[in-house]
Amino acid sequence: DIQMTQSPASLSASVGETVTITCRASGNIHNYLAWYQQKQGKSPQLLVYNAKTLADGVPSRFSGSGSGTQYSLKINSLQPEDFGSYYCQHFWSTPPTFGAGTKLELK
């Protein structure tokens, strides 16, 4: 099984700042990588898939990058609605494993 190591586990930032979250896969996942945002008490929402393709309706301040085993999600100019938890997930093979998550909090 491919394991996903996500960092940092938590992040404190202010509105307007830029943050980056990273995920490292234990094997090559060939860009089959998604990022989800989850707000407290809600279901996850797809943000990015295929490493860098924004899902419908996702603001352009979000961007994904990476290849092979290393991937990242960058959020430019943080907005109040961006605070919550973020998860990466590979879908190269079964099981489609999630990272442990990053909790993005308001400083």
Partner 1 sequence: QIQLVQSGPELKKPGETVKISCKASGYTFTNYGMNWVKQAPGKGLKWMGWINTYTGEPTYADDFKGRFAFSLETSASTAYLQINNLKNEDTATYFCARREGDGYYPFDYWGQGTTLTVSS
Q: Is 94 in the site for partner 1 (CB under 8 A)?
A: yes
90: left (phi over 0), alpha (psi -120 to 50) or beta: beta
Determine, following the binding rule CB under 8 A, whether residue 96 of this chain makes contact with partner 1. yes
Applying CB under 8 A, among 77, 100, 105, 107 the residue interacting with partner 1 is: 100
Q: Of residues 15, 70, 93, 106, which one binds partner 1 by CB under 8 A?
A: 93
Please give the C-alpha separations between residue 26 and each of 55, 56, 76, in angstroms, as whole numbers: 25, 29, 28
97, 4 contact by CB (below 8 A):
yes
Report the site for partner 1 in 28-57 (rule: CB under 8 A): 32, 34, 36, 38, 42-46, 49, 55
Q: What is the residue whose two structure tokens read 């085993």?
A: 69
Name the site residues for partner 1 (rule: CB under 8 A): 32, 34, 36, 38, 42-46, 49, 55, 87, 89, 91-101
